[in-house]
Structure 1
Amino acid sequence: MFRLSRRFAIALATTSSVLASPVLAQSDFASCLQDIKAEAMRQGVDGSVADRAFQGLTPDRKVVDLDSRQPEFSLTYAKYVGNSVSADRIARGQQRLAQNRSILDTLQGQYGVPPQYIMAFWGIETNYGGYMGDFLVVRSVATLACMTKRREFFSNETVQALRILSLNHMTSPQMRGSWAGAMGNMQFMPSTFMKWGVDYDRNGRIDLWHSLPDAFASASNFLRGIGWKPGLPAAEEVFLPQGFPLDQADTTIEKPVSAWAAMGVRKAGNAALPTVDAPSSILLPAGFRGPAFILYPNFKAVMNWNRSTLYALAVTILAQQIAGGPPVMQMPPADDEPLSRETVIDMQNRLARLTLYTDEIDGLLGPKTRSAVRLYQKRIGMPADGHPTPEFVRRLQQQR
């Protein structure tokens, strides 16, 4: 699961960093490394550190191959969350929480992040440390910097990896991670490591691979830094009243929690929503026939960790059940099917011709595509939930 979610995160997080410059040929790799070394030295890295890290370095063709692959299908809510929130992962998360309760409670006091969320991130990112990746991080990020179009983003990640080597008493072979450079129990990119890593055990180095205190404290520090605030969960399942305006179920629409309550929205199980005025949104990840969720401000912090809505939902649902809460009550529709990237591209093109979609034709089923879907659903009299069912796709394709 970690490999899929991390790949999805990198794809989304770096879309805006794609440059127009051509992909470098392998013969230019050494020259590219020298440019990175020069920037690293400007940021205080001794040149000898870069020389040792780059000595004999060649591009990793497997990394280039993995980067060039695009997911063929957009995952459904049921498939993504079903894979992420398994009974085994819940049970293991509860076991790990009990084993580390003392330090997790201490960290909650310092950073405000509940222990079940740290366990949920850990479980989804690396299956509780079971798979952290075995790619050489410096080689991976240097390959992505010099052999793909995302040079700016990954050049910086390579510089930050060199800074880690310089400041953290590590060697390049010790620094291993995913094919895209994510490292350790929590899968931090080098830049995240440098900004948010914590030497909690005070042994003189930040070790996200072998020191759980460092890993948990770094994750807590990161979440606090990207917006986590104590007081509310990230999201909760809700029941919508009959006649609820589906066009209001959109992450771009925020209302005070009290406003949703006044519209008849209640927690799943029929309990009242919290009596707070925090801004919140309603999400229907599988359309109006599936579960509904209210997204509190902390959901944005989870999204800042990984820009996938389904990832953020999976973290929230897993955290709730690790803490002993109930599973999601409303099942997703059994006929909900993934859409191929080709289908989404065709859908975006057709919606663009109808002047309903004005963003990039990228084959990704993001918020802007769903907003365009909702507009067309309204036009043709379908429930405007922004969820493109096979029936919606068929009717859109019949549009002339």
Structure 2
Amino acid sequence: MTPFNKTALLAATTALLATQSLASARAQEGEFRECLQAIKAEAGRQGVSGAVADRAFQNLTPDQKVIDLDSRQPEFTLTYGKYVGNAVTLERIAKGQQKLTQYRSLLDSLTREYGVAPQYLVAFWGMETNYGAYLGDFQVVRSVATLACMTKRLAFFSNETVQALKILSTNGMTSQQMRGSWAGAMGNMQFMPSTFVKYGVDRDGNGRIDIWNSMPDAFASAANFLRGIGFRPGLPSSDEVFLPQGFPLEEADTTVEKPVRAWASMGVKRANGQPLPSSDELSSIVLPAGWRGPAFILYPNFKAVMNWNRSTLYALAVGILAQQIAGGPAVKQPPPDDDQPLSHDTVVDMQMRLARLGLYSDETDGLLGPKTRSAVRMFQKRVGLPADGHPTPEVVQRLVQAVR
């Protein structure tokens, strides 16, 4: 009988794993190249020459860092206090006011042309790149191609890759010059390639759109984009408000819309005590930190801001920052001290318990979206708590006690 040789077995196993790994890598590389060829074909159908695509895709490999960042699941949900506290700082307000003064003439001309108030253009700039301090250093073509071919979002990012190739074709750029975030957002305002193609403006008239180095181009493109997604002159995106005693908390929800004057007739006022605008525009009330925190009225322009970024907290932060850049007041009502972030697993557990109570029927995704908050509101009403849809530690504890 041949004696057992542990060293030989280990070497053979290592060699087998290495062979399998190499075969897997080669298969993955082959699939990536096939995906790129499909994108090239679609780009050709949309007018991009094969030579442009070949140059962009030459020796292109997937970016593992992009894959890792895309798959990273946030461990905790962000609270209103934490998010806005980080986004709207005294330093960012002061710098925004300085930038507003610096570019006043340009911004005023854009307001006349596009109907977007200057403080909003500056606020978006501050939110997106901290006034150009960080534009991202990933190669955009590589990032969007990686996300198209190596993740489950093939359709969206294939189109973004095609649009990136269009930019290379028409805007006199190289792949090395087109840099941005890991997800493909570019320039001072962090435009995706499709947004750049549709809304980019050559404001300085030099024959190319440069949202990286030309602030006239960056601001004009942002103004054009905001107008295109519904931003209108007139009311701001949001205002902090004071709710009267006995206000029906179940109506503090983005799904409930009333004319501004209807909220005023219920006793809702601006936080500084001034009356709400006399307007028939539809609006909503929200309580992003629950009934103990600040309340906001959301005007129609809030929906336009949400079209830029689908996060309610982001849109609130833009409105708060814009107001203070323009010299307006800070938010008066602070969030409650015990408003703590919930872990992803805690939210999943909440959703499962709410489903067992028959209050929630959507995906258990660990996200505090409108349907989850609606289920929380129904549970709060059932157990006699203020029905604001906000999962405080007490709500979580009561839910655990109710469903064991």
Q: Give the Cα–Cα distance (whole angstroms) in 1 for the partners of residues 363 and 205 of structure 2.
A: 47
1:369 maps to 2:372 = yes
SS at match of 1:172: coil
Residue aligning to 1:112: 115
Residue aligning to 2:129: 126
1:260 maps to 2:263 = yes
Identical-pair percentage: 75
Question: Mind listing any 5+ residue stretches in structure 2 that lack a counterpart?
Answer: 1-26
Q: What residue identity is the alignment partner of 1:248?
A: E
Residue aligning to 1:28: 31
Residue aligning to 2:184: 181
- State the shift of 1:194 in Å: 0.7
SS at match of 1:337: coil
Query: Which residue of 383, 387, 402 corresponds with 1:384?
Result: 387
Give per-residue Cα distances to partners, 1:325-346, cap 9 Å, x unaligned. Answer: 0100001101100000111111
Q: Give the Cα–Cα distance (whole angstroms) in 2 for the partners of residues 217 and 170 of structure 1.
A: 20
Question: Mind listing any 5+ residue stretches in structure 1 that lack a counterpart?
Answer: 1-23
Kept in 2, the 8 Å contact 1:113–1:223? The answer is: yes
1:62 maps to 2:65 = yes
Q: Give the Cα–Cα distance (whole angstroms) in 1 for the partners of residues 60 and 327 of structure 2.
A: 48
* TM-score, reference length from structure 2: 0.92
Give per-residue Cα distances to partners, 1:230-267, cap 9 Å, x unaligned. Answer: 11000000000001000000000000001100000000
- State the shift of 1:187 in Å: 0.1
1:93 maps to 2:93 = no
Residue aligning to 1:215: 218
Residue aligning to 2:3: none
SS at match of 2:285: strand
Kept in 2, the 8 Å contact 1:169–1:205? The answer is: yes
1:140 maps to 2:151 = no
Residue aligning to 1:20: none
Give per-residue Cα distances to partners, 1:187-211, cap 9 Å, x unaligned. Answer: 0000111111111111111100000
Residues 162-171 or 25-34, more deviating: 25-34
Query: Which residue of 196, 199, 209 corresponds with 1:196?
Result: 199
Residues 273-282 or 362-371, more deviating: 362-371
Query: Which residue of 65, 79, 82 corresponds with 2:82?
Result: 79
Compared with structure 1, are the counterparts of its residues 372 and 26 closer, same or farther at alpha carbon in structure 2 (3 Å cutoff)? farther
Residue aligning to 1:5: none
- State the shift of 1:355 in Å: 2.0
Query: Which residue of 160, 163, 171 corresponds with 2:163?
Result: 160
Q: Give the Cα–Cα distance (whole angstroms) in 2 for the partners of residues 63 and 26 of structure 1.
A: 16
SS at match of 1:281: strand
Kept in 2, the 8 Å contact 1:118–1:216? The answer is: yes
Query: Which residue of 43, 48, 62 corresponds with 1:45?
Result: 48
SS at match of 1:282: strand
Q: Give the Cα–Cα distance (whole angstroms) in 2 for the partners of residues 102 and 42 of structure 1.
A: 42
Kept in 2, the 8 Å contact 1:247–1:384? The answer is: yes
- State the shift of 1:397 in Å: 1.2
Query: Which residue of 345, 348, 354 corresponds with 1:345?
Result: 348
Structure of larger gyration radius: 2
Q: Give the Cα–Cα distance (whole angstroms) in 2 for the partners of residues 285 and 25 of structure 1.
A: 44
Paired residues, number? 377
* TM-score, reference length from structure 1: 0.93
Q: Give the Cα–Cα distance (whole angstroms) in 2 for the partners of residues 293 and 221 of structure 1.
A: 27
SS at match of 2:206: coil
- State the shift of 1:26 in Å: 3.7
Give per-residue Cα distances to partners, 1:163-203, cap 9 Å, x unaligned. Answer: 00001111110000000000000000001111111111111
Correspondences of 1:209-288 after superposition (within 5 Å): 209-288=212-291
1:312 maps to 2:315 = yes
Query: Which residue of 290, 293, 303 corresponds with 1:290?
Result: 293
Q: What residue identity is the alignment partner of 1:126?
A: T
Residues 311-320 or 348-357, more deviating: 348-357
1:327 maps to 2:330 = yes
Give per-residue Cα distances to partners, 1:270-323, cap 9 Å, x unaligned. Answer: 100001110000010000000000000000000000000000000000000000
Residue aligning to 1:14: none
Q: Give the Cα–Cα distance (whole angstroms) in 2 for the partners of residues 27 and 242 of structure 1.
A: 65
Compared with structure 1, are the counterparts of its residues 246 and 200 closer, same or farther at alpha carbon in structure 2 (3 Å cutoff)? same
Kept in 2, the 8 Å contact 1:125–1:185? The answer is: yes
CA RMSD of aligned residues (A): 0.8
Residue aligning to 2:304: 301
SS at match of 2:337: coil
Q: Which has the higher contact order (CA 8 A, sep 6+)?
A: 1
Q: What residue identity is the alignment partner of 1:319?
A: A
Query: Which residue of 370, 376, 399 corresponds with 1:396?
Result: 399
Query: Which residue of 355, 358, 362 corresponds with 1:355?
Result: 358
Residue aligning to 2:209: 206
Q: Give the Cα–Cα distance (whole angstroms) in 2 for the partners of residues 273 and 358 of structure 1.
A: 37
Q: Give the Cα–Cα distance (whole angstroms) in 2 for the partners of residues 229 and 368 of structure 1.
A: 29
SS at match of 2:283: strand
SS at match of 1:339: coil
Q: Give the Cα–Cα distance (whole angstroms) in 2 for the partners of residues 357 and 196 of structure 1.
A: 39
Q: Give the Cα–Cα distance (whole angstroms) in 2 for the partners of residues 340 and 228 of structure 1.
A: 34
